Amino acid sequence: MLIASILILPRIYYVEHFASPLPFWDQWDSEWLGLLKPWMNGNWEAKLLLAPHNEHRIVPTRILTLLIFNMAGEWNNLVEARTNIPLSALSPAILLGALLKTDDLGYVKWLTVVIVLLGASLPFSWENFLIGFQSQFYFMNLFTVSALFLSAYHSDKTWATVCIVAVSILSTLTVASGLLTPASVIILVLIKGYNESRLSASSLTLVGILLAIAILAYGTIPPTPTHKMLHARSVQEFFQTIFHLMGWPLRGSNPFHAVLWIPGAVIVTLLFIRRQFTRIDLLFAGCMAWSAMQIIALAYARGNNLTYHMPPRYTEVLLLGLAGNSWFVLKIPSLTRTQRQRAAGWMLLTIFHVAVIFTYIQRGVLDFRILEEERLRRLTQAENVCRYMSTHEYAAIEKTGTQIPYPDPKRFQLILDDPDLKRAFNFDNLCRSY
């Protein structure tokens, strides 16, 4: 109960204090124009669920949006953000469940529990919990952790294999990098087969199916020529971005921060050579593999300037890898052979966890300040929108930056003037204070 509260209550606080009912940025095009307006007008078709959003397919997010809209009776970002709260807690809950049930590492495992809890409760990914549309990250993480957990603990069961295939397919329909879910499961299944000195026919079949899913998902990624400017511009920038992301949550862009991943990678390699993986080791090895591939994908697709500024939404894909690194760093003393090596191992794991936890807290304090700034921006946006809705003067929304919740004021005016929108969104409630 205590752990559930730690996962849920901070998100409730963030949403209630900092989120706004007013939709933001991509929500106007993807949710309203591309989904809810056709639904209201009777022009909706199932193929709209598969319509590209940039280079992504976001089917579960669109289904959730339709469900919320029909249950709430209105389009409201705050309602969506509230709905995302339990969804966001499911992935860390699975990891915590595995940690609490294992006998591996004894009391030391609580350091990884702390890493997972802090990662799930501090406001690193504020962009995701303020905007209901960002449920796509929560779905991808949930499908990934579920697939890895089933592969590590129940891959010999037919029902689990079916579920693994199902959630892997669903993951490819969350965001473009969802195709890395079946890829990470393939890695886990192969490690498990090597660890047990056997790879059954059913495991090989599963690998083949997952490989086909990943290839098909990659081959059907919608082309987005306008996003090419976001790609890494050079090999140097590509690797700089990888090192920067591997060093998160350490602050700054020092490539040396990537050393955070070295101890975990060394221990995974050692366990692989010795064939000493336990089931929970396999789970966290899968988490590390998935995050590592996500980092590489981000460095390629968003490497331009990502070294200097990482949007908070991307922290969701780093938390699993950091939890995995924490787990394997904790195993170092148990794998040493001499007292001196054991002492060095304890020192290393202490330095690792003190550095991560200290930086977590430091970042959390800074992110609270950013959240307050975001709250003021949302208030400004609502005030400008409400002024326009009462006066219909274009000057009210002819603003730059994030003073309005849409990048193009003229197009935004056309959206706001849509009579269907007034039936879908309750402007009276929004504007009562202005």
pLDDT score recorded for residue 308? 67
Residues 264-280: what's their mean pLDDT?
A: 94
Residue 2 clears pLDDT 80, i.e. is over it: no
What's the CA dihedral at 332, 335, 336, 342 to 10 degrees? 40
Does the pLDDT of residue 4 top 80, yes or no?
no
**Residue 309: which region, alpha, beta or left (left: phi > 0; alpha: psi -120 to 50)?**
beta
- Residue 13 has a pLDDT of 94
Residues 364-377: tens digit of each pLDDT: 999 999 999 999 99
CA distance 31 to 61: 10
What pLDDT, on a 0 to 100 scale, did the predictor assign at position 348? 92
| Interval 188-211 mean pLDDT | 92
Q: What is the reported pLDDT for 252?
A: 73
Distance from C-alpha of 242 to C-alpha of 247, rounded to nearest angstrom: 9
CB 182 within 8 A of CB 286: no
pLDDT at 38: 94
**Between 359 and 401, where is the model more confident?**
359
**What is the structure's pLDDT at 52?**
87
Which of 160-169, 266-275, 306-315, 344-353 bottoms out in mean pLDDT, i.e. has the lowest?
306-315
Residue 152: predicted pLDDT = 95
Cβ neighbourhood burial of 146 (10 Å; 0-12, 13-18, 19+): buried
Neighbours of 43 (CB within 10 A): 9
In this predicted structure, what is the pLDDT of residue 151?
Answer: 95
Residue 305 has pLDDT above 80, yes or no: no
Task: For the chain, give the percent of residues with pLDDT over 70.
Answer: 98
Asked if residue 326 has pLDDT above 80, the reply is yes
Q: Average pLDDT of 119-145?
A: 94
Residue 16's pLDDT is 94
Query: Is the pLDDT higher at 21 or at 156?
Result: 21
What does the alpha-carbon distance between residue 174 and residue 191 come to, in Å, rounded to a whole number? 26
Please check the confidence at residue 418 and state whether its pLDDT lies above 80. Answer: yes
Where does the pLDDT of residue 56 fall: very low under 50, low under 70, confident under 90, or very high at 90 and above?
confident
On whether the CB atoms of residues 303 and 231 are closer than 8 A, the answer is: yes
pLDDT-derived band at 1 (thresholds 50, 70, 90) equals low
pLDDT at 303 over 80: no
Give 33 or 6, the one with higher predicted confidence.
33
Chain mean pLDDT for the chain: 91
- The answer to whether the beta carbons of residues 92 and 117 sit under 8 Å apart is yes
- Give the tens place of pLDDT for each residue, 28-53: 999 999 999 999 998 888 889 999 88
Residue 89: per-residue pLDDT: 93
* Residue 425: Cβ-neighbour burial (10 angstroms; 0-12, 13-18, 19+): buried
CB atoms under 10 Å from CB of 54, counted, come to 13
Beta bridge partners of 56: 53
Query: Cis before residue 225, ω within 30 degrees of 0?
Result: no
Find tokens 């920038």 and name the residue: 237
Query: What tens digit of pLDDT does each residue of 208-262 get?
Result: 999 999 999 999 988 877 778 878 788 888 888 898 899 899 887 777 788 899 9
